[in-house]
Structure 1
Amino acid sequence: MNNSCPNCNSSRITTRNIGRKTGGFIGSVGGATSGATGALSGAELGATLGVTGGPIGIAIGGIAGALIGGLFGGVAGGIAGATVGEQVDTRILNNFQCLRCGHSFTSRSL
């Protein structure tokens, strides 16, 4: 994509990606929280139903489940949030910025 600034015609353009960064952050936090909550809920249920692993097995399984759930949830949420944010950048926000004059604009190829 070869854009030039509509204000000064400079070809020194960068992308700001505000929506992508924000969406990725919000998605990561939400996904990690959701994943950890689900894992903790599952660990609680497992602790209630099965005492065969003993107290140490239940504790280690619960902690590991929460960490793994939080990590997978965070990654999945971050990817989903970044994808949505990228669409917001492309279609709504002025994602391009001229490095010469500082003008922000949308791509003309939309």
Structure 2
Amino acid sequence: MNEKCPNCLSVRVGKNNYGKKTAGVVGASAGTYGGYAAATAGAQAGAALGIVAGPVGATVGGIGGAVIGALLGGATGASAGVILGDVLDERVLDNYHCLDCGYSFGEDPNSQGG
């Protein structure tokens, strides 16, 4: 999309993407914690059942499961956060800024900038 600055009509316009960046970090953090917590619970159950393979098998399986769960949870949370942040950037925040005059504005032509 080619945006024009409503202040000086320049076509040299950049995007801030503050919502996308912030929500992505928050989503990744929450997803990592949630994935780790779920994987830890699963690892405890797996370790209890895997004790038949010996203590080393139960330990390695439990730690591996927790790490994989945290990584998958973090990736999922980051993806969800980026999607939410993109919506915030486009609908709520003044996401665009003019590279010539410094004016900030949103996609909505009626939005206030400054």
Using structure 2 for the length normalisation, give the TM-score: 0.91
Deviations 1:32-75 (A, max 9, x none): 11101111111112222342121100110011101110111000
Alignment correspondent of 1:53:
53
Q: How far apart in 2 are the matches of 1:46 and 1:68?
A: 14
1:84 aligns with 2:84: yes
Letter in 1 for 2:42: G
- Within a 5 Å distance, the mapping from 1:91-110 to structure 2 comes to 91-108=91-108
Alignment correspondent of 1:27:
27
Q: How far apart in 2 are the matches of 1:95 and 1:63?
A: 42
Q: Percent identity?
A: 46
**Runs of 5+ in structure 2 lacking a partner?**
110-114
Runs of 4 or more, structure 1, over 6 Å off, are: none
**Runs of 5+ in structure 1 lacking a partner?**
none
Is contact 1:36–1:67 with CA below 8 Å preserved after alignment? yes
CA RMSD of aligned residues (A): 1.5
Is contact 2:4–2:11 with CA below 8 Å preserved after alignment? yes
Using structure 1 for the length normalisation, give the TM-score: 0.94
Q: How far apart in 2 are the matches of 1:102 and 1:74?
A: 35
Is contact 2:91–2:107 with CA below 8 Å preserved after alignment? no
In the alignment of these two chains, the number of paired residues is: 110
Is contact 1:3–1:108 with CA below 8 Å preserved after alignment? no
Higher relative contact order (CA 8 A, sep 6+): 1
Query: How much has 1:97 moved relative to structure 2?
Result: 0.5
Alignment correspondent of 1:36:
36
